[in-house]
Amino acid sequence: MRVLFTITTLLLIMSCKQNTNKTANKQNEKMSVIPVKASKIYPDNISGVFKAHGGIDTWNTMKSLVFEFDTPNGIEKTLTALKSRKALVETDNYKIGFDGEKVWLKDDASVYKGNAKFYYNLRTYFYAMPFILGDDGINYENVEPLVVEGETYPGVKISYNNGVGLSSGDEYVLYFDAKTHKMTWLSYTVTYFTKEKSEKFSYIKYSNWQTINGLLLPETLTWYKTVNNKPTTTVSKTIQFNNVSVSKTAPSDAMFKMVDGAKLVE
C-alpha cells in the first residue's frame, strides 16, 4: 500500500508540473503576440527631417524639456512636460504656469506686459521644431522652395485640423537643407488674436545645432525682417538657448501648480 501511495503521489506531482508548464507556455504565447503600437507614418520629406534630427521615435521617448535664455527682465527658464504640455516659465520677477487646464501668472514686479495665455508655450513650440510638427491633427503639403542668397530650400507646409490647439488657423512652412535634410527656416502666421487666417508670414532661421540626448536641437533662433512675405538679410531678433536638457524622466505635476500670490489668466 505504501509503495502504491508513493507511485500515485509521484504521478500526481508530475501531472501538476506538466499542467503548470502548459499553462506557462500558453501565457508566454499570449504575451508574445501582444501587438506593439506602430510609429505614425509621415510623408517622406518631413520624415527625412525628423530622421536628420535624431528621429521622431527618439523624441517621443522624451518627457521633459528645459531651456534658458536672456531677456530684458533677466534669465528666463522654461520647463515643459512634453506629454501633457504643462509648462512653467520663470524669471526673477514673474512666473507663468500651465497646469494642464488653466494658465496662471505671478508678477511680483508688475513687469510682464505680454499675454500669458499666448506666451506660456510659445518659446517651447519654436524651440522643439521640427519634432513639434509630429503632433496629431496636422496636415502636410509640399510647397515651392525658399530661395535665400542663392540657396534653395525645399518646403513642407503644415496646417491643422479644426479645433487642434488654441489657434488651429495658424500655418507653418518648414524649409530644410536639400542635402542634409536638416531644418533651416521656419515661416509662420499668427491667428491667436484675430481668429482669422493671416497672409503675413514671419521667418525664423535655425542654426548652431547641438546634439542633446540623441536629438539635434537648435542653439540659436534668428528672426528676420520680411519684404513681400520673404526674409531679408536684416535681423530683427536673436535668441540664444542655454542650459538645455531633454529627458525621459517626467517632471512632477506639483511643479506646475499655481503658486501663492498668482492669479488665473482669463
In three-state secondary structure terms, 15 is helix
Decide: pTM greater than 0.85.
no
| pLDDT at position 21 | 45
- Pick the closest to residue 257 from 22, 81, 43 (CA basis): 81
Tens-place pLDDT, residues 67-104:
999 998 799 999 999 999 999 999 999 999 999 999 99
**What pLDDT digit, counting tens, does each position of 111-130 carry?**
999 999 999 999 999 999 99
- pLDDT at 39 exceeding the cut of 80: no
Alpha carbon distance 196, 157 (integer Å): 18
Give kind and range of the element (H or E) at residue 105.
strand 103-107
Write out pLDDT tens, residues 132-190.
999 888 899 999 999 999 999 999 999 877 655 555 568 899 999 999 999 999 999 98
DSSP letters along 216-247, please?
Answer: EE-SEEEEEEEETTEEEEEEEEEEE-EEEEEE
Separation between Cα atoms, residue 87 and residue 73, nearest integer Å: 19
Cα separations (Å) of 36 from 82, 131, 134?
Answer: 22, 22, 19
Enumerate long-range contacts of 91-95, CB under 8 Å, 24 or more apart.
95/259, 95/262
Higher pLDDT, 40 or 182: 182
Q: Report whether 64 contacts 80 (CB < 8 A).
A: yes
Tell me how far apart the alpha carbons of residues 187 and 107 are, in angstroms, rounded to a whole number. Answer: 32
Do 67 and 76 touch, CB atoms closer than 8 A? no
Domain limits, the chain: 44-71+114-248
Which of the four pLDDT bands, split at 50, 70 and 90, describes residue 9?
A: very low
**Which segment of 25-29, 76-80, 97-101, 201-205 scores lowest on mean pLDDT?**
25-29
Lowest-pLDDT choice from 42-46, 192-196, 223-227 = 192-196
